[in-house]
Structures are given as structure tokens and as C-alpha cells.
A and B are shown apart, each in its own frame.
Chain A
């Protein structure tokens, strides 16, 4: 990474989504071409235009055993806490701290950061106020007067967008530099990029980066459907017959640290953070530049930041959300950056749906896994490439990456485009 005096390595990862609760479980589904999208159970979808999603299967207490904690967190927070703590456990970084002399542990904590990408708010949490509106017969003075009789005093705390930052921080005593990024789809991937920057900048020696979201809820499904973004079939990224995206839910997390620290404590190094690019297309909330302007510029920035040439890139994990405009402009942006020499392109939303705030970081965790396995898994739902996209190397069968470097592309509302480059340890 530019300006870095040493490598920023990845020493732990954690993930939960509809396809499983460990990188191994999810990898085996991806490699086998098995989707985790299907009929949902959180409400009865009989009368709904959208009947599928990728829901997390594990029960709440499996993910977060502490019963008391559940009273002060929401569903999305539960995913975030789980993934972050799995990554921490996997990295061994806090176990290492606990073996240090007691008088150096405070210093260690102050040099340990935490960056969280949060989906922000959600709709369902506000429904706690609905019985109060009934009780108040829709009148505001009565709503105010009955408030404390009808709604839990913990309501605000349960629904803070920065809850995962708070609770993972308290539980692990991660007291260093931190942020909670609320940038819709770009939230989680930006948490990873900002973490790496903070280490390069000397603000911390190690950082836990996490992203979490639970967008699958009735109102969200309804509005995405009204905007024409939802598939009623299944996501078919880059396919001629794609009809939209499908919601997933979940979280992912990585532990980043300086290579010398990782080596010193003999940590298992999973890979390396190489660089990133980030830009807005200035197109407003929903619109995309049809020529892939942001995708192109974010890729260029990322390659420059990582000191890579296009031929160094072994595979691309595309955003590939399965909507018409996004897939088309993404393919154009990739072609503008890579010319005719595009490495194999894959993506994972066909399997675990669109995790919105955590989509980019989940894709990083699984791309690391793909590089480790030296396999670019296929997008089995891409059967016939959209002729408007033209010749484009989407993996329709599992193929080999050209190198141990992957680019992960993440796009979001606000015209956001973020691209991260990682290398797997081979």
C-alpha cells in the first residue's frame, strides 16, 4: 500500500450470512454451486411480490450466547458482534494480549482500533412505536404522554447505528482509533479500507474491521421492489435474463495488523491488504453513471494505491447485484480499466444475496478463501451473458485465478464505488 513502510496483513476473518457461519461452510456452498437463497420464514410471503431471500439460519443464542446483551441490540448488531468476535478469535490477537504483562495491556488496547460499517437504521425497529400510535389514537400529545408506558426505555440504545462499535469495543476493550461508517452498501468495505489507512498512518498497530446489515425486512423489500430492483426469480449477475437482486443478511469481519507484529507473535497470516480506491459518481441517491465512470476510476485508484498493474490481478469479485443498470455499467467500467485483458470475473450474490452494508466486506472474506483454494467459483445463474455486455470473462464454470491477487468491487447508493485489492498468502 502506498506510503506504507511495511505490509498490512490480514490475520483473522469471520463471517455469517445465509450460506453459513464460517468461511469454510460458505466456501463449500460456493464451490458446489449451491445457492442459499430460497423462500423466507421471517413473515408469510404468500401475498408478497417477492418470495425469496437468503436468511441467516443460526439461532440468536448460537451467534451471541450472552442473553442479557440481546436486550440492548438488534438483529443486525447480533450479526456484527458475532462476525467481529469470530475474526478476533481466529486472529488470536486478544489471546496474545491476555498473555502480555498486565502493565502493557492498557497500551495494547489503546493501540487496537475498531472500524465498523453499519447498515444504519432499519424499518422494523420503529414498529415498536406502532402500538403507541394506536393507544394515542394518532394524536401526538397522547403519544408523548403515553410514551414511557408503551416503549422500552432502551429503545434508542437498542437502535444506535454504532451499536456494534460500542459492544465489540467494550467486550474486547478495543480502545484505539475507531469509526462507524454509514455509507449504505459501501459501509463494510470502507471499514476495511479505513482500517488499513489508519495502520499506515500510525494511528493503531492493529484494527478489527467489521461490516453488518439486516436489510431483509418487509418495508425494505417493498420499496426495492417498487424501484424495480428486486428479482422474483434469483439473482443472475451479468445474465441476459437478469431481473434484479435478492436480499441477504449478515456480517463479516477481518483483523488487520502490521506484518512485523503478526510475525512477532507467529500469527497465521491469511493475506495482505494491498490498496483501495473510492469515489462518488455525483449522480444522486439512486442513479448510476451508464459508462461506469466510478467503477473505472475506483479500479484505477486502487491499482495505483496498491502498486499493481492490470496483469497482476488474478480475479475480480464483482459487485454483480443482478440489476440491469448496475451489472451493465460495472462491466463497462471493468472493461475501461482492463481493456481486453480482463481476469476471470465472479461474484457471490447469486449464493448469499445482497447483504447491502456488509456485502463488500463479506466478498473480501470469501475472495480470500477463493484465492486460498486457487479457484474462481462460477456464477451458476449466469447462463447467457447479456449481449449488451459483450464478451466478458464471467466464470460460468470454476476456473483458476491468474494470480493470488483479487480485486473486490462494491457499489452503492450515492453513486459510490469502492474497490479493494487483496493478496492471499500462498
Chain B
């Protein structure tokens, strides 16, 4: 339908805050070393929960990269991750919005958890419930209730978007998406589309999340989605291993700087990869269950390949969604096998959730960044903790040591609760034909 030639988009900056490192360099070296970011939860007293382990961001201080204390007052933990990762991505790219071009800069984010914090809920509890704990609205309008509009702002669905736009002075197109675990991938896909249709010349695109808090983890504990290997936190996330028993909840943020390819080349920018294709489908199966035959994810992968004007032949590395739940991993492998056919034995596959845990709304963005780094360095990171082959998941996993060798193009999948599937294709700059 589109009458214009596809505009080529370059990734020129990366910023990461993850459970294995608070910068891109630390995260990447951690992943290559197969280092686990999981441990006993220290953010809060999780001792009574069925799962007491998680992959937390450690020693994080947002004031190091966000000098404005007034802005940080409105930032949740995940917004702090986002502001920090975005600042790193822009510094890495060596460009930033200026007053004369800020209207050509866009922002696309996968926004994380939208439930209120436990501490805020506790305040409501202490002022506005009856003796059994049932809500009584009038307690909120008593003089003692400390209604705090700052907490309210922090909790708004686009608070992260608003804070990022202000911090970096981004005045163009801005969108915030939430499709659970697919959010980060969809945000980057949305950014690609907005740039291709000429809506922006530069974009900051990524995701952020932190559900490692009492309310966040409760939802997953109730569903039984988390690994309960509380005595073995570093081995608990083992995507595609036959004994896998749930995911390990992580937190963090990842951002990419995207810019027009020609402009990036012109200014001599160092280009990680071409963001070449986006695919996007809805499984329409069940709300948390993945289709066993991969119907849904298959379409997303095909679309992403088509959008990148390529085929599966060019893909040398897949960063899998690989959550380490029985169902997701089986469904995803079925999809990969359907797409790659006999090439499934050649293409390197790993789920870096084996090290970082599941960053939920940030996962797709962080894993997109991992693909870019893998392309730059010609190395596929490991799928850690893989010991027991599962006949349903017989894909070519990178185990033991990272695999060195040129990656012509990489694919990353993000499959969310609710059935949204996002796939992205990144191409090696040396494979880009002028």
C-alpha cells in the first residue's frame, strides 16, 4: 500500500539497566560470562511468598544520571531505570535533541506495571477500611488521609513517557504501549513504523519495568507462573531445559537510539545494526496459555522477516523469548521450527532470560539491545542453566560458552500475556546494501 520506499533505520545508541549490570558494558560482559542476576529478593521482605527469589537491579542510584531532583520525585523505581538507560543510550549515540530539531525527535516506550505500590495501598488500608479490611470510601476524605498527588502522578499510565520527554526535551511523536511481556518489542516496532512513515528523524525507543515489589510479585505467585526454586536462585531460570518450572521475575530498562541511516552515516556515527523489520500478531488462543503449535508467533516472525525484505536464511541468531515456563518454551520452539525448517539446526538460539530473568515490559527492549550487541561483536550469548534436553525444545541452543562467528541478522521474539507477539529483525551493517 505504501507508495514510498522503505526508509532505512540505524541503531546508534544503547543504554541498559539490568539485573546483571547497570550499564550496557556491564550487562553485556555479564551475559557473555553467563552470569546470573538472580538471588534472594532484597527489595522487600519476600520470606512469606511462595517465591522468594528474583533478579534485581543492584546498587542503583538514579541521581547519577538524572541531576534534576524535582523530576526524580515523580519517578517510580522503573522510571529511574528508564531515565538512566535513556541517558546512556543518547550519550552512546553522541546525539541529543536540540531546540531546533526537538520536534523531529520521537519517543516510544513499553511501559511497565501500572498497579499502585504496596506502601501506598497500605496507607489507604490504614485510613479507609472496615475491621475486615474492606474498602470504605469516606476514609479517603477524612482529614487524616495523606492524599499525595505526587504518588498519583507517578502511577499514571504515561508517567514514564512524560518524564522522559521532559528530561531530554523530546517534542515530537510520542507513544506508550503495554502488551505485558511483549511491550518492549512493540515499542521498538512502533518506533520503526513511525520513523519509516516520516513522522520523526530520531527516536528514543525502549521499555522499563519493575514488578519486584509485593503487589507485582503477588499477581504472578497467584498464577503459579514463577519458579519456586528458592534454594537455587541462579539456576532457577533455565529456558528450554526439561526441568524448567517457571520464570524468574526481573526488573530494569533498555533503550535504543534510532536514526535515519543516511544521516547516521553522514555524521560518521558508529552503527550497531539496522533495525530492519517488525512483525506483530495476536495469538487469539487463551489469555495466559501459548498456542502449542506456535500459531500466532509464527505469523509475527514471518511478518518481521518480510518487513526486513529477507527470509529466515539470513538469520544467524535468535534471541528467544524463552521465559522458562513449560508452555511458552514449547510453543516458541514449535514456532521457530515451523519458520526455520531444516535450518533450525544451524541458527543459534539463546534466551538471555536465563541470566537476567524476565524483565516483563522491558524484556523486549533489552533483548533487542542484546541482538545489536551480538551483531556488533559477532558473538551469540549463552542460554545458561541448560542441562536436561527437552525433546519438544530441540533447537540449536548456545550452551556452555558464547558462540563466536559473524551474525548477518538476528531475530528477537517477545510473546506476551494476552497473546500479543512481537518479533524484530536486526541486520549487520556490513550486510546492508547501499
Contacts and interface: CB of A to CB of B under 8 A. Distances in A.
Indicate whether A and B interact.
yes
B149 A227 contact: yes
A280 B113 CA distance: 22
Contact of A414 (B44, B126, B159): B159
A180 B138 contact: no
Interface string A289-306: 000011001000000000
Contacts of B113: 121
B133 A134 contact: yes
A189 to B, nearest CB: 11
B125 interface: yes
A124 B147 CA distance: 16
B418 A285 contact: no
B203 interface: no
Given A129-B121, A219-B124, A285 B159 contact: yes
Interface stretch (B164-172, B313-321, B400-408): B164-172
A123 interface: yes
B158 A182 contact: yes
Given A130-B129, A226-B147, A280 B50 contact: no
A162 B181 CA distance: 11
Most buried by B among A153, A156, A163, A198: A156
B286 interface: yes
Interface in B151-198: 152-153, 155-159, 161-163, 165-166, 168-180, 186, 190, 193, 196-198
Interface residues of A, number: 105
A141 B45 contact: yes
Contacts, number: 327
A175 interface: yes
A182 B176 contact: yes
A110 B299 contact: yes
A404 B282 CA distance: 35
Contacts of B162: 280, 283-285, 413-415
A308 B416 CA distance: 39
A250 interface: no
Contact of A131 (B134, B163, B171, B420): B134
A131 B121 CA distance: 11
Interface string A398-415: 000000000000001111
A142 B47 CA distance: 9
A181 B175 contact: yes
Interface stretch (A95-103, A164-172, A230-238, A384-392): A164-172
Contacts of A126: 115-116, 121, 215
A181 B419 contact: no
A113 to B, nearest CB: 8
Interface string B1-12: 111100000000
A285 B284 contact: no
Interface in A130-148: 130-135, 138, 140-148
B265 interface: no
B141 interface: yes
A134 B129 contact: yes
B223 interface: yes
Contacts of B171: 279-282, 293-294, 297
Interface stretch (A200-208, A326-334, A344-352, A362-370): A200-208
Contacts of B60: none
A201 B296 CA distance: 20
Contacts of A120: 111, 114, 156-158, 178
A180 B125 CA distance: 31
A373 to B, nearest CB: 32
A202 B1 CA distance: 5
Contacts of A127: 124, 135
Contact of A177 (B46, B103, B177, B280): B280
A183 interface: yes
Nearest to B225: A156
Contacts of A90: none
A72 B281 contact: no
Contacts of A163: 287, 418
B50 A414 contact: no
A414 B118 CA distance: 24
Interface of A: 2-6, 43-44, 47-49, 72, 109-110, 114, 118-121, 123-127, 129-135, 138, 140-148, 151-157, 159-163, 165-167, 169-170, 173-184, 186-187, 190, 194, 197-203, 218-219, 222-223, 226-227, 258, 278-286, 293-294, 297, 357, 412-416
Given A160-B287, A165-B418, 13 more contacts: A120-B111, A121-B115, A126-B116, A127-B135, A129-B215, A147-B218, A166-B419, A170-B284, A173-B284, A203-B303, A226-B149, A413-B158, A414-B174
Q: Which 8 A-B pairs have the closest CB atoms?
A: A120-B157, A134-B133, A144-B48, A156-B219, A121-B114, A414-B162, A141-B48, A131-B133
